[in-house]
Chain A
């Protein structure tokens, strides 16, 4: 049974008496331990969809089950939020305390975790994100990537099964982005977390098990990164640029250089070119 199951999910935002459909008829199942990358232009409904998964938006139309809880039942809101954590774009807007230990304890305190157990959860969360010993450090002294890893640790402290990343790398420099992607990879591979990752950067989706494309509130395509990210027509139709390696593949193709497979990463592209020689 999927850990997330959305069926004909639709949502509208009301503004000045008008109702704008933000997502329409979304049907998607996510298996436990799966990594899903959601791609789409601004306003395509990605964030609206994932806010339903975290019960931040009520289900208006359709069905949604998260970790076995029916999201249409308001009584399940807090249970769903405990099972599904969410990391947002700007780490500065997620901290409730400038002291890391206190910030990481926030979620645990909200769920009534006994005082004696809190330090253990905090320590473990910091170890998972590769920042042990940072308990008493100030968030003001961290780099962008470190801040976002602390935001991830804040979510991990509650030990959710699902973690949603809502453009969590958008405000970071390439180094910080790599730090966060590395952390997500570890959470997926070593901790077995189910990952839902929204991104503008198509390159980040290559690490996912499955890529989903949203366009004007509708789910228009889904499949493995190999299939979806190499489909230039589909991506440009959704207003997205294919990964650099895919673009290079097609450029080489038109220049008469034929690579055996379509590479998704720069590393794979280099390897494919080396094989030609």
Chain B
């Protein structure tokens, strides 16, 4: 049995699944902005509880909700360490060579990690509860005002949607190329950074070539199925906005306003 790639749509009938996709996308945008706005301990507690509530309502299991962050632990650790050791030389615990570890740096690093973590989890919940084409239509709808100044919003939305969808396929292809290079002596397991870099560089060209080949084949297949831009296209699913959609957006806006208020009051400020 194959495992589902990260961010793939999981069919369901939860309240989050049933929400209008444009509302969900707009709510995601507001939530991510809110996450960036948070600068207090209480603010983070509220955001974590809020995202946990959304995850529970979506019916998505905890491992699935968190799997977007699974491969990023090293990234999180590096961000935390770099901030701890380099961010604030003024109030460092001690100084050794170029290292100036400080509580301020540690707190700031933790804040950055938490922000990225929460943004990834909430984005993952959106893609797990919304079919890709609905995301395309939602994006197209939200950026449609730009079409008045000649920007091809429909095509942009389609490109973004397909690009996101091809990430697991390209990741699989990268793994195949990596294994092929390993059989020919590439040292990805080497502890020496120079050797690792030497092994990674020859992978770049085959990965790009494979991506271009796939893009070319997909564009021909899309043309063969009658794609000629957005004009004249119908949409499989489009429905008027319901009370629940407005309610969901209102809740997200209230959380955002609460965070702005907390920021203004500057309660228990972290960063």
- Chain A interface (Cβ < 8 Å from any Cβ of B): 54, 56, 78, 81-82, 85-86, 88, 90, 92-99, 101-102, 105-115, 118-119, 136-138, 140-141, 154-155, 158
Contact = CB atoms under 8 A, between A and B. Distances in A.
A136 B235 CA distance: 17
A110 B227 CA distance: 5
A108 B235 CA distance: 9
B222 A96 contact: yes
Contacts of B225: 81, 85, 106-107, 110, 154-155, 158
A90 B169 CA distance: 12
B165 A112 contact: no
Contact of B234 (A94, A95, A113, A119): A113
Contacts of A110: 225-228, 232-233
B234 A115 contact: yes
A78 to B, nearest CB: 6
B221 interface: yes
Interface of B: 2, 4-5, 8-9, 11, 131-134, 158, 161-162, 165, 168-169, 214, 217-218, 220-228, 232-238
A141 B227 contact: no
A138 B224 CA distance: 22
A109 B236 contact: yes
Given A97-B133, A110-B228, A158-B226, 7 more contacts: A56-B220, A96-B165, A105-B236, A110-B225, A110-B233, A115-B237, A118-B234
A86 B217 CA distance: 12
A277 B4 CA distance: 54
24 contacts: A56-B220, A81-B225, A92-B169, A93-B217, A95-B165, A96-B158, A98-B165, A101-B131, A102-B132, A102-B134, A102-B236, A106-B225, A108-B234, A109-B233, A112-B232, A115-B234, A118-B234, A137-B11, A138-B4, A138-B9, A140-B4, A140-B8, A140-B168, A154-B225
A90 B217 contact: yes
B136 to A, nearest CB: 8
